Amino acid sequence: MRSARAPEDGLAPVDPDDTGSRPVPEATVARLAVYLRVLTTLLAEGRGTVSSEELAAAAGVNSAKLRKDLSLIGSSGVRGVGYDVSRLVAEVEATLGLTRPHAVALVGVGNLGHALAGYGGFAQRGFPVAALFDVDPALVGTTIGGVEVEHADTIPWVCAERGVTIGVVATPAPAAQQVCDHLVTAGVRSILNFAPTVLAVPAGVEVRKVDLAVEMQVLSFHVARRHGTVPAAGPTATPRQTPREAVSR
Ligand SMILES: NC(=O)c1ccc[n+]([C@@H]2O[C@H](COP(=O)([O-])OP(=O)(O)OC[C@H]3O[C@@H](n4cnc5c(N)ncnc54)[C@H](O)[C@@H]3O)[C@@H](O)[C@H]2O)c1
């Protein structure tokens, strides 16, 4: 087993099963998911084409970055016309591996897990919740969003039987590794971990950690930076001295 970590060069293969394909930077992958959300809305509204400027504005990026991201996946717009929305949706979906079905198993249906399990948006975007697990006898046998909560001991065969491809871990940290191991035994190769712990997984298994507190800390950093209360980052930055420090040195 090895510890989960991001690829050191920040690049992700276009298709995890196809190591020969051209790598796409992780940051681009994240933006592609945002472009897809906007494009899906445009498609539902019956739009045939979209300009790079409009798509970029709706996704919150600049249009040069958007054009570069899309050129990395081989998509190019027509000057004066823009991008064909349905073709671009298909190209982004293919890059994100969304052309094959994904079934999601969620483990730990407490406060967080219950909210996630009841959210219909995952199914709408191609990630139906196929299985729910917990160990609490008060929860096992109950139904959330039409899916019955089963005992976590059954993870290996239930997930294998339902073809689960993505596992979501929403248990307390001490239980997370064992839950992860059960998911891996069932053949799950993609794990989204909410528990505040680092999961060890074998090669070929991808773990993404979600930590809202980290996101808030990053926001806090940017706010502090805008207000000039933190020094500029970088090797040449010198810490600011308080008047007391300045005097005592
Ligand atoms: N990443 C984030 O931003 C974020 C935000 C909130 C909570 N969390 C984390 O998510 C996890 C869940 O938080 P919560 O508030 O829902 O906790 P909770 O206590 O309400 O729910 C945890 C659930 O996990 C179940 N559980 C315990 N051991 C289990 C096992 N071995 N197998 C299956 N289920 C098991 C419990 O019975 C309970 O229902 C915690 O680790 C918490 O720290 C992360």
CB-based burial of residue 51 (10 Å sphere; 0-12 exposed, 13-18 middle, 19+ buried)?
middle
Nearest atom, ligand 1, residue 209 CA: 1
Q: Using the 8-state DSSP alphabet, how is residue 168 labeled?
A: E
Q: Is residue 23 in some structural domain?
A: yes
Those residues whose C-beta lies under 8 Å from the C-beta of residue 57, and which sit 6 or more positions away, are 63
Host domain of residue 82 = 2-95
pLDDT in tens, 144-194: 999 999 999 999 999 999 999 999 999 999 999 999 999 999 999 999 999
Q: What percent of the chain has pLDDT over 70?
A: 83
| Residue 172 near ligand 1, beta carbon < 6 Å | yes
Task: Say if residue 79 is in the same domain as residue 145.
Answer: no
Confidence of residue 21 (pLDDT cuts 50, 70, 90): low
Q: Choose the final residue of a domain: 95, 120, 138.
A: 95
Residue nearest to atom 37 of ligand 1 (CA): 136
Give start and end residues of each alpha helix (H) in 4-84: 26-44, 52-59, 63-72
Task: Say if residue 140 is in the same domain as residue 160.
Answer: yes
Task: Say if residue 85 is in the same domain as residue 127.
Answer: no
Average pLDDT, the chain: 85
| Residue 133 near ligand 1, beta carbon < 6 Å | yes
pLDDT greater than 90 at residue 3: no
Distance 105 CA to ligand 1 centre (A): 14
Across 21-25, average pLDDT: 75
Q: What is the CATH number of the domain that holds 109?
A: 3.40.50.720
pLDDT in tens, 192-245: 999 999 999 999 999 999 999 988 998 998 888 888 876 665 555 444 443 333
Q: Using the 8-state DSSP alphabet, how is residue 152 labeled?
A: G
5 vs 70, residue with greater confidence? 70
Q: Is residue 172 in some structural domain?
A: yes
| Residue 69 near ligand 1, beta carbon < 6 Å | no
Q: Is residue 91 in some structural domain?
A: yes
What is the per-residue pLDDT for 191? 97
Residue nearest to atom 40 of ligand 1 (CA): 172
Q: Choose the final residue of a domain: 37, 61, 95.
A: 95
Q: Is residue 70 in some structural domain?
A: yes
Q: Is residue 122 in some structural domain?
A: yes
Nearest atom, ligand 1, residue 174 CA: 28
Task: Say if residue 63 is in the same domain as residue 42.
Answer: yes
Task: Say if residue 87 is in the same domain as residue 8.
Answer: yes
Domain count, the chain: 2
Confidence of residue 98 (pLDDT cuts 50, 70, 90): confident
Residue nearest to atom 20 of ligand 1 (CA): 110
Task: Say if residue 81 is in the same domain as residue 136.
Answer: no
Q: Using the 8-state DSSP alphabet, how is residue 21 labeled?
A: E
Task: Say if residue 44 is in the same domain as residue 90.
Answer: yes
What is the per-residue pLDDT for 88? 96
Across 52-73, average pLDDT: 94
Q: Which of 107, 109, 134 to mutate to test the pocket of ligand 1 (most atoms within 8 A of CB)?
A: 134
Task: Say if residue 201 is in the same domain as residue 179.
Answer: yes
Q: How far from 184 is each of 45, 99, 166, 190, 204, CA to CA, in Å?
A: 40, 23, 10, 9, 10
What is the per-residue pLDDT for 22? 64
| Residue 183 near ligand 1, beta carbon < 6 Å | no
If DSSP codes are grouped into helix, strand and coil, which group holds residue 131? strand
Task: Look at the alpha carbons of 223, 226, 227, 230 in this order and tell me if their dihedral is positive or negative.
Answer: positive
For 83-106, give the secondary structure using H, E and C: EEHHHHHHHHHHHCCCCCCCCEEE
pTM: 0.76
What is the DSSP track for 180-197? HHHHHHTT--EEEE-SSS
| Residue 152 near ligand 1, beta carbon < 6 Å | yes
Task: Say if residue 6 is in the same domain as residue 77.
Answer: yes
Task: Say if residue 135 is in the same domain as residue 155.
Answer: yes
Q: Is residue 142 in some structural domain?
A: yes
| Residue 215 near ligand 1, beta carbon < 6 Å | no
Confidence of residue 125 (pLDDT cuts 50, 70, 90): confident
Q: What is the CATH number of the domain that holds 46?
A: 1.10.10.10
Task: Say if residue 151 is in the same domain as residue 62.
Answer: no
Cα-atom radius of gyration of the chain, to the nearest Å? 22
Q: Using the 8-state DSSP alphabet, how is residue 239 labeled?
A: P
pLDDT in tens, 34-48: 999 999 999 999 999
Task: Say if residue 22 is in the same domain as residue 66.
Answer: yes
What residue numbers does the annotated binding site cover? 108-113
- What span, in angstroms and rounded, lies between the C-alpha atoms of 123 and 103? 9
